[in-house]
Amino acid sequence: MIDAHHHLWQYAPEEYPWIPPGSALADHFLLEQLHQVTTQAGVSGTVVVQARQTVAETQWLLGLAAKSPVIRGVVGWLPLRDEGITALLDHFQHESALKGLRHVLQEEDDAFFQCADFHRGLAALALTHLRYDLLVFERQLDIATTMIDRHPELPIIIDHIAKPEIHRGRISERWKKGMQEIAKRDHVIGVKLSGMATEVRDEEICEDTLRAYAEETIAIFGTRRVMVGTDWPVALLRLSSYQQWIDFLRDLLDRLTPGEQKAILTDNAARCYSL
């Protein structure tokens, strides 16, 4: 299995203001912890994703990847709105571990999706071999689709199945329609079964509801575009362990053919990120 989405950090409250103080996330999550949980879970490779919007963190993650036998790729952050983004991309795209970039669009208002300087950066990114990870809430799917339509040459990978508002026993129609529309784009090359537990609005997690969302995602995008990720350690806000989500994924996919399971568990991530 390739875990196509997790994070690492050396915790400091001032560096991670989005982490709830005293929560399970308010701790260090470094290579030692990563190697322990992936070994126990039988995960053979990972893609580590930015958790801060700084160039320094991107450099730090690349340094960790160079030391780790399990990290196969990095999705970092660079200032796409900066006038000097082309030069930065020229420098960083030669880092073999760097596979893509991400901006935390879920925290931006709709106007950001239309910013000329952001689109200039996306256009520059499309001229490299890197991909773009799309992090949005379901309510942003329409404007995100309009945004990516301006960059048909830029490979897009959707994080956390676009963060639906998950309520027990039903699938959001707004999410379903938005995902069906965005799936029509050939340059949307992947979508991650990750980050779902933290989007559950109910006090208790209903695994059948999560399963329904995962199955709907596979039905919409097909078994050639879906990959798996844990969103560890963020997932610990709702889950007890890394292993809990791995077990859920393996059980979820058990009903598929061996070839389909292999595609979703390993091959799609390896292809989409050129691991």
Could you report the per-residue pLDDT of 114-152, keeping only the tens digit for each? Answer: 999 999 999 999 999 999 999 999 999 999 999 999 999
Residue pointed to by tokens 């989405």: 5
Share of the chain above pLDDT 70, in %: 100
Type of residue at 159: D
Q: Which amino acid is at 176?
A: K
- H or E element, residue 37: helix 31-41
Q: Provide the CB-side half-sphere exposure for 221 (13 A, CA).
A: 33
Task: List phi, psi (to 5°) of 24.
Answer: -65, -20
Pairing of strands 98-103, 226-228: unpaired
Residue 28 confidence (pLDDT)? 96
Q: What pairing do the DSSP bridges indicate for beta strands 188-193 and 45-49? A: unpaired
pLDDT over 90 (residue 112): yes
**pTM > 0.95:** yes
Domain count, the chain: 1
pLDDT in tens, 151-209: 999 999 999 999 999 999 999 999 999 999 999 999 999 999 999 999 999 999 999 99
Residues sharing a CB contact under 8 Å with residue 246, sequence separation 6 or more, in sequence order: 1, 41, 42, 43, 230
Which residue matches tokens 């999550």?
Answer: 29
Share of the chain above pLDDT 90, in %: 99
Contact 159, 195 (CB under 8 A): yes
Residue-wise pLDDT tens digits, 10-21: 999 999 999 999
- Indicate which CATH number applies to the domain containing 242: 3.20.20.140
User: What pLDDT shows up at residue 12?
Assistant: 94
The stretch 80-98 carries a mean pLDDT of: 95
Structural domain boundaries enclosing 190: 2-272
Question: Quick one: pLDDT band at residue 41, thresholds 50, 70, 90?
Answer: very high
Tokens representing 14 are 């001032």
